[in-house]
Structure 1
Amino acid sequence: MRHESLFRRLPHRDALLDRAFLAALRLLTRRRRYFRDGADSPPFEAHLEAVDADWPSVPPVGTCERPVETLAGSLRAAVSVRAWHGPDAPTLVWHHGGGEYPYDTIFEGAFPDPDAADANLVVVRAPGHDTRFGVQRVGATLSRYLATLAVAVAATEHVLETVDGRTVVAGYSLGGFVTNRHHVHHDTADAYVPLMAGTAHGEIFLTTVPAAPAARSRAGHLRKRLNFTDTWLERDHAHVHPVLGRHDRLNRYATQRASYSGVEPAVWPVGHLRGIGAYDRIRQSLDRHLNP
């Protein structure tokens, strides 16, 4: 009996896998920590209002890069149309994870044959995700990092403005935070599916992927700029369908679950890494809301 109790207290294998990954990530990025060149920044709302881009018309199928002017300087983003069935068809706008390279790895795992989905499929590439470790480059300052999120949110709104059918916005990890940001600032999609994210974005940089020491010393400021739990309370969330990983050690389950006031997320028995490869589960979650 004592042995069974001890076994239940041992970390799950997914949690151990996440911890090993995080240890390796900290080692690889020890000289490129987030916000190492500055943690001062206007609020996210100011960044979003300032985004200036000549976004492409959405069809035809293909990837279109654009320079984007922001409060933090010039950045580059892309809108990639993977399937197009017309403006009246259901549309999915997908957001990748932070540092995901290639940026469409999870998307392609979930949609190996895009045309078979019978929906418009659009992937937004946020600034800094055209190269490996590019997210650490745009994350050198908090201002550029917030500008990156704002660009992704603005690109999403552009896509939604071009279609008339049912719309779903979704994403994994960083993409989940972008999905939730779009919900609280625009709320123009019919459904939102944020995976392995929440509204307590700043907690990541204080715990699991620690920011530079000078930035961490301003914990209250990081929380004020990156967390948006208070803004979340201002919306109705009946059309938001979050997914969390029980053993996620990057975007920790307990932290992000508490940030979803008024919503009961679905909980998968996975960690962050194993959730990335749960392509069938991800696809099912998206199809359920594309064609309810």
Structure 2
Amino acid sequence: MNTPTTASIHADITVPIISVRGVNKTYAGGFQALKNINLDIRRGEIFALLGPNGAGKTTLISIICGIVNGSAGTIVADGHDTVRDYRAARASIGLVPQELHTDAFESVWATVSFSRGLFGKAPNPAYLEKLLRDLSLWDKRNQKIMALSGGMKRRVLIAKALSHEPAILFLDEPSAGVDVELRHDMWRMVRELRAQGTTIILTTHYIEEAEDMADRIGVISKGELILVEDKHVLMRKLGKKQLTLTLRQTLTVIPPGLNAWPLELADDGQTLVYSFDSQKDETGIAELMRALSEHGIEFKDLRSSESSLEDIFVSLVRQPRETTT
């Protein structure tokens, strides 16, 4: 779908496509929305920015895209300073915002064509046709946007963001309020774009999407970027594993001889849960089995589980700041 330019084909992939340095944002009244953000986005990756409501995700994206002015710091996007060389930087970026702001009285084709021309791109009807077909909008190309459903308007926003074939695509809560069909189409398109070299930054409340799609994860909380890590490394570092044992007999308390293991006894007295770090050697399970046998504790079923990205995210944003560095 996206046709990379000669410059982007030969771009040095070791140089971040987005570099954020010392970015702060303080609003009138003294509220500090962002605090000394430093972040590099790798060329061609899918980067998921996670954080609770009000954490600063949209503010950071808006500053990178030039919609909001930062209070301090510098940002370089695709080799262009976003303040000194705003037009060139913005031409490299496509943004799908949360809000459904569109030209209500224009047709789908007109608004997408206009968006392409706004960035100085020559007309390319074949590209726009494919874009609209990929988004299931071709049959509605002549309809006014005001007549479309909310899901279709969201598709138009995606088409507008991609109309000028940007090297960088921001998706700010793209799945919020959309139907399953659109979500499926959107993520299929994201994978295609990534395969063609487009860098994609997304924020989402659907953490399972980040777990499925992202190469790296950034977590922002109260205006601070508290962690940036490769997804799989993050899962290994901070993930927990649990072994749940269903007992044959009821226990009232855990025997003192089992205090060496982090065990929890359920209220019904028939379930023991053993939690351990996913990075540690799992030989402790065998030792636990022997200890249970020595104490005459038998089990009739056991199952293991691992932390999800959502579990890790919740634990991170609840921790004091100093424990996450």
* TM-score (structure 1 length as normaliser): 0.25
Identify, as 1 or 2, the structure richer in strand: 2
Identify, as 1 or 2, the structure richer in helix: 1
Bigger Rg over Cα:
2
